[in-house]
Each structure stands twice: as C-alpha cells, then as structure tokens.
Amino acid sequence: MLNLAVCDDNVDDLDKIIKYISIYEIRHNIDFKTYYFSDINDLKEYMRQAELLNIVLLLDVQMNANNGIDEAKLLRKNYGSKIRSVIFISSYPEFVFDSFGANPDGYICKPVVYEKLEKILSTILANFERDEREKKVIMIKDIDNNSTEIIPEDKIIAIQVMNSYDRSISITMENKSIIIHNRLNDLKEKLNKKYFFQIYRSVIINIRRVKAVKSGVVLMEDKDIVLPLSRLRRKKLIDKLDSFILSGMNESE
C-alpha cells in the first residue's frame, strides 16, 4: 500500500490538503497511512526513521528558506529505496523545468483543488498497482559467485562495459554492484526504453536516477556516480529527460 508524507509550511494549504486526502479516501474506499509536516526538518527526521516503503512525498516548492526541489533531491539521494513518488505543490509552474533531478511524478499548482489532487493520486495508485502486478525483473548471471541474479529493473542505476574482450559488464544498483558476462546490446534489449538510455558507447543509465547533466558527464543519484556523456547524445538525453518530466505532469493534469 502507498504511504503519504505531506510537507507545506502554509498551515491553510496544509489543512486543505489534509481535508482533500480524507475526502479521497472516503470516495475511493482506501486507507492511506498519511503523515503531515509543516517543517521540512521534521519530514527529514521522519524519513530517517521510517521503516515504511512506497512513500509518496507531496512537497511545497517554497518553504521559507528551503527549496522543496533541492530537498526532494536530497531525500531521493538518502532514502531513495523508501520513496515511490514525488509530487510538487507550488504557485510557480515554472519550477517544473528545474526539477528533473528530483524525479517528480506530478505537479499541483496552488490554490490546490480537489479534482487535481484526486487525479494525480489516482494515477499514482493505478501505476503502483500495475507495477506490483507486472514488476519487471531481469535474470542475469553473476560471474563472481556463479549464481543467477533476479534484479528489479527499477533498482538499476547504471550499466557499464568493463572489458569488451571478455564482455564483462558492471550493473550498479541501490545497494550493490555485480559483474556479468553479456553483450551490452543484448542487455539493452531487455530494458524498458522509456526509462533507460545509452549515454555513451559503453554506458546505459536509468533516467529516473539522474541527478544532473553537466558538460561531458552525467551525475547519478544514490552513489554520486559520474558517467561519461557523449557530445552527440547530450541533446537526446536532455530531450528524453524533458519528455519524462512532462509526461508525469500531463498524467496528473
């Protein structure tokens, strides 16, 4: 089940969201575990201690001196395995184009209206239920211990060719890395093209895990991995990231 964590330092806006979530639960016959915060530091402490998974964060973009987008990036970095989705709430729609490093799944403009919140929660819930039914895994052989690994696709951060002669490939995940023997193109065919992109002749990344794109490199979240970016593929990567962000926005409109 999904768990909601809402953070907004505007008490009136927070009360309105609390009310709307309660209405949603009644109308859709669902019971979220929901936690509300008016201080980002309280949310951080909750995330540090929480044993729950599949947390949906609803964050105000502007909270006093704090930038909700930057805070979301830090939360993704430190507690990515606990977070299912991030939804930004703001009076400033232009912030959406600064937010791809936080991997948002939706954007709600203030003043918050029930219909908008209802649609975005229903989309996230439907996607969650679909993913639980159809969770994609990849079966690969780990040459370090000669065992078969079953890896959830969404846990992959990056895939890199280590040695083209013996076809050794490193797969970096949230909590470990493994080495396999395979062709990169064969592995690429197994991956969801919506979320994976080849940024260099020997590197494939999960775009949901991108922290920043800089000159000649891509910074990934979780382990602060820095990967080479082909000059010829930079524009395609930026376009793909923009499309990924906007698709999340459109689904919630």
Instruction: Using the structure block, give the residue that is written with the tokens 């912030």.
Output: 95
Domains of the chain: 3-134 (3.40.50.2300), 137-246 (2.40.50.1020)
Strand 83-90 to strand 106-109: parallel, antiparallel, or no bridges (unpaired)? parallel
Indicate whether this model's pTM tops 0.85: no
pLDDT confidence of residue 135: 63
Instruction: Using the structure block, give the residue that is written with the tokens 């990515």.
Output: 80
Which of these, 76, 127, 81, 91, lies nearest to 12 by C-alpha position?
91
pLDDT confidence of residue 235: 94
**Alpha carbons 146 and 190: distance in angstroms, whole number:** 21
**Model confidence pLDDT, tens digit, residues 148-176:** 778 888 889 999 999 988 888 999 998 88
42-74 b/e (C-beta count within 10 Å ≥ 16 → b):
ebbebbeeeeeebbbbbbbbbbeebebbebbbe
Query: Which regions of the chain are under pLDDT 70?
Result: 65-66, 93-104, 133-135, 141-145, 222-223, 246-253
For residue 176, count other CB atoms closer than 10 A to its CB.
Answer: 11
Contact 91, 110 (CB under 8 A): yes
pLDDT confidence of residue 103: 61
pLDDT confidence of residue 144: 60
**Alpha carbons 76 and 218: distance in angstroms, whole number:** 17
